[in-house]
Structure 1
């Protein structure tokens, strides 16, 4: 515990609260109102219940605010997590989610305790935006089954692929229900577009949902509603985990944990850049998010992550400390105890309308245009990540995107490796210099560029001495050092004497261990400056001519 003391809450977390409590209170109420329809909608879209989404927003939102590493992060169910949960629910049933949530929360917590926060957060920008676009497309498609039929459990709703689910549900759509549902979506979308223009603090999504709920109560519509919601939180209990299913659920939990870690750290990093509210601790953030998911599992909820949309709303409303996120959770808790009845009357189509608009707003055309017009490689990374996200799996998409970015980066670094064959050009030229070639190395020498370097050096012509100039060599890995040793041995086998000039102190131990220096014909063939190496090379050429005058 002493070694992890900095990963736990401290009084310093609230040092600004005496000055900022009014702003934090207002921000917490504002984001709580905004989070209500999203929590309900993401619960339903996951194949679970609106109640589970609301419980997650309350419990996980509170715990992440207290234990997390960001002063302003707002956590709860998110669209990205919905994308991962839908196939899990389809494969293992809704009953498995609590166990998956518990396991994933423990994994995320351990990741933070092992201080891996900075490792998890290293993801290139095109990859981030690529899977964001993919997530937005999937969230949009996941709402189609909810508006196509009055039965939210109709075939196709829980298909593991959102595109297939949307196509199947449209093919079997109840046209009467679809017409009413599209009307509800239009009302919610119009409210979300118009309300902010009247005043930024007006919750357009909540107004749209209220209008649709009132109309559904007054008119005989076929729209399905959320249904009864308990007027209190359930008692906490440890989810039952079937030992026979543990091996099957662990990979699913690993996927959820990876997404929770990635999304939470990205959200916290973006939040830190939006406002001067203090730096965030990535390791503590993972510990906090792990505790949040474990807490949500104990109350029957779903996995939670940091939510950039809600965090942005909180910041724009004036949030300065984690008290705003705590208030947000308390506002949602008050809804459960005070307004469970009215919330249960909300049509599912209204929630679909909120999530349709959420998906659309996730796509920033200016950002997409910037990436597509930046470099060809970044445009391909962005496009492939988005397509894989929609077609296969979010985590696979991230891994592929990062792998592609790594390959591009390595290729770029390899191109900075320079190797050139140079004839001797000095002020005091000697006829002996025609039998001497200098080979200059510069930049890094590692496994990506090693083969190209070897091929270039082997093109050296018929000379007596080669001087390897290494003073401008930068980073060298084991493969690069082994190639240097291979070059020395290959040239010596051709009867060419190799001299090495300018070995840096940082490279000498590696060269000694790998055998670069041992490959030299004589230990005196190692030089500090070029003039000394050239003088020795000339004496060597002259000695060869004396011994073999022909």
Structure 2
């Protein structure tokens, strides 16, 4: 049987160009905001896409799955930066990348995506809340490091609310308002980019003197420097494993969603999940060498690319090329973006992650699902992401053991009844 020849037409290329261009416009403010939230130089959030997109496009199984810096990795990398600086973030990312490749080689990708949905949803909601709370110092203009827990941040903000400044608050709310409006009325347009543009214009018109992103360079950053220590076995390895696990779940779930929106309602093959994790593991090793945050699947830019005509791997490569061109030729404008505007982008994305429909479904959820969802969300916000995922999944382990114990008890009782009946017949 002869396979049909695949032709890459001008129409296909036009669709890929359009999809890659829109995906890049969405990726730019998102990447800058996520890296800043992690405590990294903002440009590293964009370099994640530049370094990893060509690799995942060539090696990955889903041709239109576009990756980049994501909110799901924020708690892990932000904690590493807080404790050990840029080198700590690189160390954790590299360890996580190796674990992802190990998942692929051991063919565990097909099982990683089986994490209970309430845990995934609770994790997403917890990160959404963390993203909003973590930006309150920048949004309000209140001086503070924000290095404490989210609860401590809320307490400090509440106590010092009278110190809030009008200018950063206005810029952040302006971005949030524009994003909400654009996303509702014209969902195909890059809402974060338009919001940042409006805030930048307002800052210029009203001569606001707020902290800015600063100069962005297209030159590759230097290799991240770090040293290994014996205590890393107890700190870096567990965090790296948890980061790899959460990232793997995100990649595989996002890939399924993207395939659905492509119109391919075909269940993912088992081997596809393993290959996808291997591709992202390899690409993230490259990103981690330069201290750039890990790349995972991004639903917003992947679906935007599809809606604008992207159909092949070239849409992913065009997305990286457009990002490089924007930084190379527009760095002067990007450097003037107020940090308050990026804080507004981050807060808006946090609100989007709060999945309000899940909160409305709580009364109709099974007890174990509701408990897992709420606990995971709360622990992400108040403790850390590793504990949140572990405790969230443990509810299902306890439920399984409880059912096994009840079943064993029922079998034992049935056996006693049968034995008693046999004696009576005898």
TM-score normalised per structure 2: 0.88
Query: What residue is the counterpart of 1:334 in the other structure?
Result: 325
Query: What residue is the counterpart of 2:282 in the other structure?
Result: 291
Cα RMSD, aligned residues only: 2.8
Question: What is the rounded CA distance, in whole Å, between the counterparts of 1:304 and 1:171 in structure 2?
Answer: 37
Check whether the contact 1:86–1:158 (CA below 8 A) recurs between aligned residues: no
From 171, 179, 202, give the equivalent of 2:166. 179
Work out whether 1:158 is the aligned partner of 2:144: no
Query: What residue is the counterpart of 1:167 in the other structure?
Result: 155
Work out whether 1:206 is the aligned partner of 2:212: no
Unaligned runs of at least 5 residues, structure 1: 1-11, 415-445, 467-495, 498-537, 542-550
Question: What is the rounded CA distance, in whole Å, between the counterparts of 1:225 and 1:264 in structure 2?
Answer: 32
Check whether the contact 2:87–2:226 (CA below 8 A) recurs between aligned residues: no
Query: What residue is the counterpart of 1:118 in the other structure?
Result: 110
Q: CA deviation at 1:148?
A: 3.4
From 242, 249, 255, give the equivalent of 2:228. 242
Question: What is the rounded CA distance, in whole Å, between the counterparts of 2:22 and 2:66 in structure 1?
Answer: 12
Check whether the contact 2:213–2:338 (CA below 8 A) recurs between aligned residues: yes
Work out whether 1:458 is the aligned partner of 2:416: yes
Q: CA deviation at 1:375?
A: 2.8
1:307-326 matches, within 5 Å, as 307-326=298-317
1:405-484 matches, within 5 Å, as 405-408=396-399, 411=402, 414=403, 449-459=407-417, 466=422
Question: What is the rounded CA distance, in whole Å, between the counterparts of 2:6 and 2:225 in structure 1?
Answer: 37
Question: What is the rounded CA distance, in whole Å, between the counterparts of 1:221 and 1:338 in structure 2?
Answer: 25
Question: What is the rounded CA distance, in whole Å, between the counterparts of 1:322 and 1:164 in structure 2?
Answer: 45
How many pairs does the alignment contain?
417
Deviations 1:45-70 (A, max 9, x none): 00111011111122123322222232
From 65, 68, 77, give the equivalent of 2:60. 68
From 24, 28, 31, give the equivalent of 1:32. 24
Aligned pair in 2 of structure 1 residues 175, 62: CA closer, same or farther (>3 Å)?
farther
Question: What is the rounded CA distance, in whole Å, between the counterparts of 1:334 and 1:68 in structure 2?
Answer: 24
Question: What is the rounded CA distance, in whole Å, between the counterparts of 1:47 and 1:174 in structure 2?
Answer: 26
Q: CA deviation at 1:169?
A: 5.0
Query: What residue is the counterpart of 1:50 in the other structure?
Result: 42
| Higher mean C-alpha displacement, 14-23 vs 217-226 | 14-23
Work out whether 1:400 is the aligned partner of 2:391: yes
Deviations 1:128-162 (A, max 9, x none): 212111111111111112223376xx43x223x23
Query: What residue is the counterpart of 2:296 in the other structure?
Result: 305
Check whether the contact 2:212–2:339 (CA below 8 A) recurs between aligned residues: yes
Check whether the contact 2:23–2:305 (CA below 8 A) recurs between aligned residues: yes
1:12-31 matches, within 5 Å, as 15=6, 17-18=8-9, 20-31=12-23
SS of residue paired to 1:207: helix
Q: CA deviation at 1:232?
A: 2.7
Q: CA deviation at 1:173?
A: 6.3
Question: What is the rounded CA distance, in whole Å, between the counterparts of 2:282 and 2:225 in structure 1?
Answer: 15
Q: CA deviation at 1:265?
A: 1.5
- Higher relative helix content: 2
SS of residue paired to 1:128: helix
SS of residue paired to 2:220: coil
Question: What is the rounded CA distance, in whole Å, between the counterparts of 1:74 and 1:296 in structure 2?
Answer: 15
Check whether the contact 1:61–1:326 (CA below 8 A) recurs between aligned residues: yes
Q: CA deviation at 1:226?
A: 0.9
Aligned pair in 2 of structure 1 residues 150, 216: CA closer, same or farther (>3 Å)?
farther
- Higher relative strand content: 1
Q: CA deviation at 1:460?
A: 5.4
Question: What is the rounded CA distance, in whole Å, between the counterparts of 1:120 and 1:250 in structure 2?
Answer: 18
Which protein shows a greater Rg?
1
Q: CA deviation at 1:218?
A: 4.2
Work out whether 1:93 is the aligned partner of 2:78: no
Structure with more relative contact order (C-alpha pairs < 8 Å, separation 6 or more): 2
